[in-house]
Chains A and B, each alone.
Chain A
C-alpha cells in the first residue's frame, strides 16, 4: 500500500513539473534570468572602443546617486505616483457610485468613463496633444474664450508633469471604476434597506457601509495603480519626451533613454535594479500585510 502511494506521489510530482515546465521555462528566460543578468550588468562599466568593459562594483550606483537628473526623475515619479494614484482612485470610486445609481443615460455615462481604457496610451497622448497645443489647442481656445492667456502646457516645467498626470488619470480611472463596480454589485441590497429604515442619509450609508466594504478593492487597485505608475510612460514619447528640462521625465523613460539613446547599459541596469527593489518591497507588503486582510481560496 505504501509503495502504491509512493509511486502515485512520484507520478503526481512528475506530472506537476511537466505541466509547469512551459511556464517555468518562459518565466526563467524572461523574468528571473534577466533580473540576475541586470544585476550582473550593473556592476560592470560600459565597454567602448577605447576602454573595454571591466568590473567596477558599485561605481555605477554611486554615479547614479551623484547624477542630479536621477534625483529629478525619482522626484518626478514620486509626484506622478502621488498624484495619479489617489486622484484616479477617487474619481474611479465616484464614477462607480454614479454608474451604479439611478441616473439618466447611465449606459452612456458608463461607456464614456470606460472608453479611454480601450485606447492605447499612444493614441490617448495624440488626442491630448490637440488639447495641449499652445494657442491652437482646445484648452487654450477655451481659455481665450474666457479671457485667459495662452499657456504652453507641455512646454513649461511647472505644468508639463501635471499635463502628463492628467492624461494618465484620464486613461486609468475608467479601468479602476470597473473593479469598484464589480465590488458594488456584491453588496447585498438589504444593507441599503436597513440603512434606509434607520433613517441614515445616502452620504452616511456610503461613508460608513459602502466604503469600508470596498476597502479590499481599494487596496487591490492601489497596488495596480502603483505598478502602472512605474510602467505607464508611453505618453512621454509623444507629449514631452521627458522635457522641458527633464521636468516630466519618469524613471522607466530615463532607463530607456540611458540604454537606447545614450548607449549606457550599465547605468540603465543600475536603475532597473533599484526599481526592482522598490517593486519587490511593494510585493512583500502586498503579500504579507495586505493579504492578511483578504482571504484567498
Chain B
C-alpha cells in the first residue's frame, strides 16, 4: 500500500471514529432572569438534568440580563453570525421577531406534537399565536397580582382576608389605609407602565390593541377614562404618591411598609415571601366593568437559522423545561406560574400551594387574563404609550392629550403594516 492509500485509509478510519462524537448537537440558549441572583443556578440545574438525560445534546445557557437585554443579545448574536438556536424572550416580541424573519413557528418544526401545543394554558398561548401559528411556548409567565399588608388592614379595621374586589373598594379601602407616611396603594409607572395600564384598561372593559397587531385604541373614551382614574388615585383620592412610582424599588417600599397595597408581577412572590416581616396576602386585581389582568413574562422561541437536528434538539429541550415537573420546580423557586394545568397536578406544586395559597392567585386569574400588549413595531408603539402614561401622571399633559398623541404616533408606525 503506498503512502497516499495509507493516508486515505487512516483519514477514513479517523472520520469514522470521530463521527459519533461529531453527532453531538450543541445548543446556545439566551435567557433573562427576572429576579437577580441565584436563579441562574436553578436554570443551570434544570439544564444539567436535561443534558444527563440527553447525552448527545450540549446546552450553553447564557444569562443575558433583563428582557430587553436578552432580545438585543440574541438578535446581535444572530446578526453577527454567531450561533444561537433558541432564547427565552418577551412574549410580546413575537411580531417584531416574525417581521425580522428570525424565528420559526413550532408547527413547522418536524416532530412537534399538536397535543403538546394544546397542553398549556390558552391565556398564556395568546401572545404566541400569530397568523394562525404558534411562535412562542410559555416558560416564565406571570400576571399582575395585588400584594397587600394584612397587618395594616387589621390596624385600619379592614378584613385582612378581603382585598378590594372593585374600583370603589380600592379607593375606599385605600383611603382608610393611607395615613402619615404610608400610602394605601402603589401602582408602578416606570419600568413597564403599559402593563399596569393594560390591567386597568381591561378592568374598565377595553383592550388596548387588536389581536392582529395592527390597531391600537389609545384614544378610545374608555381608555382615556382609565388613565384619568389612575391619575385620580393620587391627585384626587390621595392614596398613591403623585408623579411616577418607581418599578425597581417598589418591592422594597412595600416591605418597608411605605404602602399597604402594591400591584406587581407574581414573579416577585418568592422574594416578597422571603423578605416580609409582616403578614401579607396576595389577591386578584379588582374589577370595574370586569376583572382582568394582562399576562406577562417570557416565552421560548426557536430561531430560523438552525439545522433540522438543532431544531429537534431545541424542541426536546423546550419540552423538557416546560414539562410539569420542571415547570413546578421553576414556579416554586420564582413565583412565576406553572405553565400548564398538569404542572399544578404535580406533587411538588400541590404541596407547595396547599401550604402557600398565594401561589395560586396568578393561576386563578388566568381565567380573566388577556394577552400582553403587543403590536408590530412593538417597542416604539409601546414607548409612545409609556410616555403618555408618564406624561399624564406627572401632569405634563392631560390624559386625553397624551393618549391622543400616542395614538397618532402608533398610527404612523402601524400604517405600513396594514
Which A residues contact B (CB, under 8 angstroms)? Answer: 48-51, 133-136, 150, 152, 154-157, 243-246, 260-263
Contacts and interface: CB of A to CB of B under 8 A. Distances in A.
Contacts of A152: 241, 243-246
Q: Which of A50, A51, A156, A244 has the most CB of B within 10 A?
A: A244
B249 A155 contact: no
Contact of A136 (B72, B245, B252, B386): B252
A272 B43 CA distance: 39
A155 B243 contact: yes
A5 to B, nearest CB: 51
B263 to A, nearest CB: 16
When A and B form their complex, which 3 residue pairs have the shortest distance between CB atoms, in order from nearest?
Answer: A155-B244, A244-B390, A245-B390
Interface stretch (B29-37, B96-104, B164-172, B212-220): B96-104
A90 B72 CA distance: 40
A152 B379 CA distance: 25
Q: Which of A50, A154, A155, A246 has the most CB of B within 10 A?
A: A155
Given A48-B100, A136-B252, A155-B246, A150 B241 contact: yes
A134 B379 contact: no
B183 to A, nearest CB: 10
A246 B246 CA distance: 15
Interface string B267-281: 000000000000000
B379 A262 contact: yes
11 contacts: A48-B99, A50-B416, A134-B246, A136-B253, A136-B256, A136-B258, A156-B244, A243-B387, A244-B387, A261-B68, A263-B100
B274 to A, nearest CB: 18
Given A134-B241, A135-B253, A261 B379 contact: yes
Tell me the dominant secondary structure on chain A's binding face: loop
Interface string B220-255: 000000000000000000000101111001001100
Nearest to B259: A135
Contacts of B75: 263
Tell me the dominant secondary structure on chain B's binding face: helix
B177 to A, nearest CB: 16
A154 B258 CA distance: 18
Contacts of A136: 249, 252-253, 256, 258
B396 A157 contact: yes
B394 A50 contact: no
Given A49-B101, A263-B96, A135 B258 contact: yes
B394 A156 contact: yes
A49 B386 CA distance: 27
B417 interface: yes
Contacts of B416: 50-51
Interface residues of B, number: 34
A154 B247 CA distance: 11
Nearest to A135: B258
A22 to B, nearest CB: 24
B244 A260 contact: no
B76 interface: yes
A156 B391 CA distance: 9
A133 B249 contact: yes
Interface of B: 68, 71-72, 75-76, 96, 98-101, 181, 189-190, 241, 243-246, 249, 252-253, 256, 258, 377, 379-380, 386-387, 390-391, 394, 396, 416-417
Contact of A49 (B68, B100, B241, B253): B100
Given A157-B396, A243-B190, A244-B244, A262 B390 contact: no
Contacts, number: 77
A156 B243 contact: yes
A260 B72 contact: yes
Given A152-B241, A155-B190, A261-B68, 13 more contacts: A48-B100, A133-B249, A136-B253, A150-B241, A152-B245, A156-B244, A156-B394, A157-B391, A157-B394, A244-B390, A245-B386, A245-B396, A260-B76
A155 B245 contact: yes
A168 to B, nearest CB: 21
B249 A134 contact: yes
A122 to B, nearest CB: 13
A246 B417 CA distance: 26
A133 B246 contact: yes
Contacts of B96: 263
A210 B54 CA distance: 75
Nearest to B377: A262
Contacts of A263: 75, 96, 100
A135 B180 CA distance: 13
A262 B181 CA distance: 40
A175 B304 CA distance: 49
B252 A261 contact: no
A150 B258 CA distance: 12
Nearest to A261: B379
Given A49-B101, A136-B252, A136-B256, A244 B76 contact: no
Contacts of B100: 48-49, 263
Contacts of B377: 262
A49 B253 CA distance: 45
Contacts of B417: 50
Contacts of A261: 68, 71-72, 379
A259 to B, nearest CB: 10
A262 B243 contact: no
B406 to A, nearest CB: 11
Contacts of B386: 243, 245
Nearest to B72: A260
Contacts of A244: 189-190, 244, 387, 390, 394
B20 to A, nearest CB: 39
A136 B252 CA distance: 9
A133 B190 CA distance: 13
Contacts of A50: 99, 416-417
Nearest to A150: B241
B333 to A, nearest CB: 26
A66 to B, nearest CB: 10
A50 B418 CA distance: 11
Nearest to A159: B243
Contacts of B256: 135-136
A150 B240 CA distance: 13
A245 B391 contact: yes
A156 B394 CA distance: 7
Nearest to B389: A245
